[in-house]
Structure 1
Amino acid sequence: MNIKFVVVGKLKEKYFKQGIAEYAKRLSRFCKFSIVEVPDEKAPESMSQAEMDQVMAAEGERILSKIKDKEYVYALAILGKERSSEEFAKEIKDLTTYGHSDITFVIGGSLGLTPAVLKRADTQISFGRFTLPHQLMRLVLTEQVYRAFMIIEGSPYHK
């Protein structure tokens, strides 16, 4: 099984890198885990809607170029469906049972995801209505994927 994150921007903070590296190491017993970073589009602080759309479109094209047809795609979106950890684990288990061995999670840049990326996604997932920095979201998502595998395994980790 392959789990891939396609994310906009580089991770700069050492503490986020360390946390993700720890969960990536733990995940290695369950799957092949990878993170693909696509460059964020340089943008001024204040932009018109047209400029924002242009930035999102450029990032969206980069994201879509990293997704293969066979991949099952989760787009992280505030308006996506919220799930409990147990529901998420069941979804992952069901996907693998029914032949989806390549699962990709997409985390957009600071402006979010384009309609084209959301359309390509098989489902949208939300971690609540909070706005979180996408660097922190990477760490939270990595932990939740690990938690899902621990739930599937029946481990007491998730309690």
Structure 2
Amino acid sequence: MRLHLITVGEPKLAYARAGWDEYEKRLRRYHKVQVTRVSGKTQAAESEAVARAAGKAPMILLDPRGQQFTSEQLAQYLDTQALGGHGELALAIGGPDGHTEPLRQQAHHLWSLSRLTLPHDLAMLVMTEALYRAATISAGEPYHRG
């Protein structure tokens, strides 16, 4: 399956950039990965850029209102999407103010990483690690030992 990772901005802190790069590289062993960095001067402009980047792919927005998954549940969700004929999923992290309500309404799914508020850089890192972990679970590999 193709995973299109869309972020408003990019990781700025060294630890987050290194982590993103590492887990993106690892994730590419299991999925075709496309990364798109968007920007905008307002929350509305950012959300419009996310929607344009996603195109016709089902959008999964990272949002505090969304569903939380265990690693196993995320693996199952992604497997179900792939089996359901979705050849591509667009996963999007918004800017500091999150996504607009119209974009949320267009989303295929809302995914919450945590009930905690995470800094933007950390959220990007956690998302890529979670996707990698889910891929290894689906592949039956021993990375996940939970």
TM-score bracket relative to the smaller structure: over 0.9
Deviations 1:88-139 (A, max 9, x none): 1001111111211101111111011001211121010112221111211111
Q: Does 1:6 align with 2:18?
A: no
Asked whether the equivalents of residues 11 and 124 of structure 2 are also in contact (C-alpha less than 8 Å), the reply is: no
Aligned equivalent of 1:115, options 94, 101, 125: 101
Code of the residue aligned with 2:15 in structure 1: it is Y
Deviations 1:9-44 (A, max 9, x none): 232222211111111111121111122111142xxx
Code of the residue aligned with 2:45 in structure 1: it is A
- Residues 11-50 of structure 1: matches in 2 within 5 Å? 11-41=11-41
Asked whether the equivalents of residues 8 and 39 of structure 2 are also in contact (C-alpha less than 8 Å), the reply is: yes
CA distance in 2, matches of 1:26, 1:67: 22
Q: Which residue of 2 aligns with 1:158?
A: 144
SS in 2 for 1:130: coil
Q: Which residue of 2 aligns with 1:147?
A: 133
CA distance in 1, matches of 2:31, 2:79: 12
Code of the residue aligned with 1:13 in structure 2: it is L
Deviations 1:44-92 (A, max 9, x none): xxxxxxxxxxx211111111111111x1211111111111110110011
- The share of aligned pairs that are identical, in percent, is 34
Runs of at least 4 residues off by over 3 Å: none
Asked whether the equivalents of residues 10 and 39 of structure 1 are also in contact (C-alpha less than 8 Å), the reply is: no
Code of the residue aligned with 1:9 in structure 2: it is G
SS in 2 for 1:157: coil
Q: Which residue of 2 aligns with 1:68?
A: 55
Q: Does 1:88 align with 2:58?
A: no
Aligned equivalent of 1:133, options 119, 123, 126: 119
Code of the residue aligned with 2:23 in structure 1: it is Y
SS in 2 for 1:66: helix
- Cα-Cα RMSD: 1.2
TM-score, normalised with respect to structure 2: 0.93
CA distance in 2, matches of 1:107, 1:144: 14
Asked whether the equivalents of residues 4 and 54 of structure 2 are also in contact (C-alpha less than 8 Å), the reply is: no
Q: Which runs of 5+ in 2 are unaligned?
A: none
